[in-house]
Amino acid sequence: DDLAAIALRALAPDTPPGVYNAADDTEMKMADWLDLVADFSGLPRPPRVPRSQITSMFTTESRRLDNERLKTVLGFTLRYRTVEEGLMHEQALGID
């Protein structure tokens, strides 16, 4: 819901030009996010690979997104501020 609304707002004619990071306010590592999604979905958690075996630029260069411009310039208020809130909403709707 939030991502669709953000996209619509970013495409509006009165939107100031620029880059907007579409992210919630959750501060968690990717592995923790994957575990949480698996837990909510009733799936096994993905296996861990030692960092020494990872060669992907994504995992070695990953940085946190700052969504402040989304909130201040676009004036967007997140409906689901955290991953947990979004997953609980989907769970209440019966979405797996």
Q: Please give the distance of CA 63 from its chain centroid, rounded to a whole number.
A: 13
Confidence (pLDDT) at 95: 63
pLDDT at 27: 83
Question: Residue 56: how many CB atoms within 10 A of its CB?
Answer: 8
State whether residue 22 is helix, strand or coil.
coil
Q: Convert the pLDDT of each residue in 26-73 to its tens digit.
A: 888 878 888 998 998 899 999 988 877 777 656 666 667 788 999 999
pLDDT digits (tens, 9 = 90+) for 58-70: 666 666 778 899 9
Comparing CA positions, the residue from 66, 74, 61, 57 lying closest to residue 9 is 74
Q: Any idea what DSSP says for residue 41?
A: H
Q: What is the pLDDT of residue 93?
A: 73
Residue 86 has pLDDT above 90, yes or no: no
Neighbouring residues of 9: CB distance < 8 A, sequence distance ≥ 6: 15, 74, 76
Between the alpha carbon of residue 36 and those of residues 32, 40, 44, 64, 65, the distances in Å are 6, 6, 10, 18, 19
Q: Which pLDDT score is estimated for 60? A: 60
